[in-house]
Structure 1
Amino acid sequence: MRNTFRVKEHVLANAASGMAVHDDCKVKFLELKTKRSFRFIVFKIEEKQKQVIVEKLGEPTESYEDFTTFLPADECRYAVFDFDYFTEENVPKSRIFFIAWSPDTSRVRSKMIYASSKDRFKRELDGIQVELQATDPTEMGLDVFNSRVN
């Protein structure tokens, strides 16, 4: 009887600490990582469905500036961005950034849901190389990206 209680307690803790992740999130991330099919992906938590879904796919030709236009000024999001850069030896490379976007103006409930679901969601996306937490655009500017790759 005691073990049954522990199992239920564990399941409830997991349910409270994260949303389900729609399969499409993993499929599209894998396409970004292996085929470079996308420059970025913006993910949104659908509270009614209790799951993370793909909100926007950025074409490979889209820029960092295009990407930032899809992060709402007053709502939280998760995003991944495939960042191209050159090493000091002028070798082209890329890094996959995970961004936890949580603007100060977003609802407290939303911030809490995104914060408590982040680690579980990140584990579903195998291949993230750099993580950024941002509450305003200056915390995830190109200068920040450049400083995190070297």
Structure 2
Amino acid sequence: MANASSGVAVSDDCKLKFQELQRKKAFRFIVFKIDDKVQHITVEKCGGPDATYEEFAAALPENDCRYGVYDFDFTAEDGEINCQKSKIFFIAWSPSISRVRSKMIYASSKDKFKRELSGIHYELQATDPTEMDLEVIKERAK
């Protein structure tokens, strides 16, 4: 179904891949793009379960917008016990040098798309790599 504010629909593959990331840990990250020709959000790239955060960041183009989902694993200290935890981050990547039209379409489609992906823990809006640095992710996940 198309997004009322932008006219962009979400492909079923986006939801299926997200569920595989969330439930089966099949992926570490997913990068989504809006296909202008068919007005659909599609899966552009998936990183395997052993992919690094650096690989995720490198999968985002420096001059165009994307949505990204990253499954961040970390160890939390709970008293004297260390617990393995996982938090899913939704990153709206909108570099300042991208086209204005692209920024507008991604911004107007973001909320509906994010609702389609049930289970997001945190959201980041980034216009340059420093706003989504791994240290930012670690700090938010605490």
TM-score bin (small chain): over 0.9
Residue by residue over 1:47-71, the C-alpha shift from the partner in whole angstroms, topping out at 9 and shown as x without a partner, is 1100100000100011001111100
Structure 1 contact 18–120 (Cα < 8 Å) conserved: no
Supply the distance in 1 between the matched residues of 2:28 and 2:4 (Cα, whole angstroms).
31
Change (3 A) 1:147 1:18: farther
Structure (1/2) with the larger helix percentage: 1
Distance apart, 1:88 and its partner CA = 2.4
Aligned counterpart, 2:109: 117
- In structure 2, list runs of 5 or more residues that go unmatched: none
Q: Stretches of 4+ moved more than 6 A in 1? A: none
Supply the distance in 1 between the matched residues of 2:104 and 2:49 (Cα, whole angstroms).
32
Supply the distance in 1 between the matched residues of 2:103 and 2:34 (Cα, whole angstroms).
11
Change (3 A) 1:26 1:50: same
- In structure 1, list runs of 5 or more residues that go unmatched: 1-11
Supply the distance in 1 between the matched residues of 2:130 and 2:83 (Cα, whole angstroms).
27
* Structure 1 counterpart of 2:16, one-letter code: V
Sequence identity percentage:
63
SS state at 2:124 partner: strand
TM-score for both structures, normalised by structure 2:
0.93
Supply the distance in 1 between the matched residues of 2:7 and 2:23 (Cα, whole angstroms).
26
Supply the distance in 2 between the matched residues of 1:30 and 1:101 (Cα, whole angstroms).
21
Supply the distance in 1 between the matched residues of 2:42 and 2:118 (Cα, whole angstroms).
17
* Structure 1 counterpart of 2:31, one-letter code: V
Residue by residue over 1:86-140, the C-alpha shift from the partner in whole angstroms, topping out at 9 and shown as x without a partner, is 1123211010000000000100000000000000100110110100000011000
Please report the RMSD computed on the Cα atoms of aligned residues, expressed in angstroms. 1.3
Structure (1/2) with the larger strand percentage: 2
* Structure 2 counterpart of 1:127, one-letter code: G
SS state at 1:73 partner: coil
